Amino acid sequence: MRIYRTDVEGIAVFRITGNVREDEAFMLLQFIGRESGAFRGSFILDFQGVEHVDYHVFELFEKWFSGRSGVVLSGLSDYLLDIFAFVHRKNVIPIFPDWRKALYFLMTERGKVGSPAAFAIA
């Protein structure tokens, strides 16, 4: 697993690539917990470049993100959506087709400052 972080209008976008194991996801969550003040606590986990996710990862995410707003997933392929649906128990984490739509949601629905037109990240 590799992670590329971009900050857009105070929202962190974590672009994840490769295969995601539970231990790697746990380290990511620990980092997010330590750094959440730096990006106002809102972030996007983008799975566009992910080939496989251990199903325990989605269980872990559901536990960590339960009751927290400002956390969204994006870019899940049909294969990853099937894994997510297998373990998904609650409506805890919104999912968007790509990170730009997730960003727009966080900026408008969650009241984040800024305009979606103000960014141009490839």
Per-residue pLDDT, 121:
43
Count: domains in the chain:
1
| Domain enclosing residue 98, as ranges | 2-118
Q: pTM of the prediction?
A: 0.81
Pairwise pLDDT comparison (63 vs 122), residue with the higher score: 63
- Residue reference for tokens 């994006």: 74
Taking CA atoms, 18 is separated from 34, 86, 101, in Å, by: 24, 20, 22
- 41: exposed, middle or buried (C-beta count within 10 Å: 0-12, 13-18, 19+)? middle
Looking up tokens 């990853």 gives 80
Quote the longest CA-to-CA distance of the chain.
Answer: 37
Whether pLDDT at 104 is above 50: yes
Mean pLDDT, to the nearest integer, of 74-92?
Answer: 87
pLDDT confidence tier of residue 122, bands split at 50, 70 and 90: very low
Other CB atoms within 10 Å distance of the CB of residue 50 = 22
CB-count exposure of residue 77 (10 Å: 0-12, 13-18, 19+): middle
Please check the confidence at residue 97 and state whether its pLDDT lies above 90.
yes
Q: How far apart are the first and last CA of the chain?
A: 20
Look up the CATH number of the domain holding residue 99.
3.30.750.24
What integer pLDDT is reported at residue 63 of this predicted model?
A: 84
Is residue 31 predicted with pLDDT exceeding 80?
yes
pLDDT of residue 39: 54
Specify the pLDDT at position 114.
44
pLDDT tens-digit series, residues 38-78: 555 688 999 999 999 999 999 888 888 776 777 899 999 99
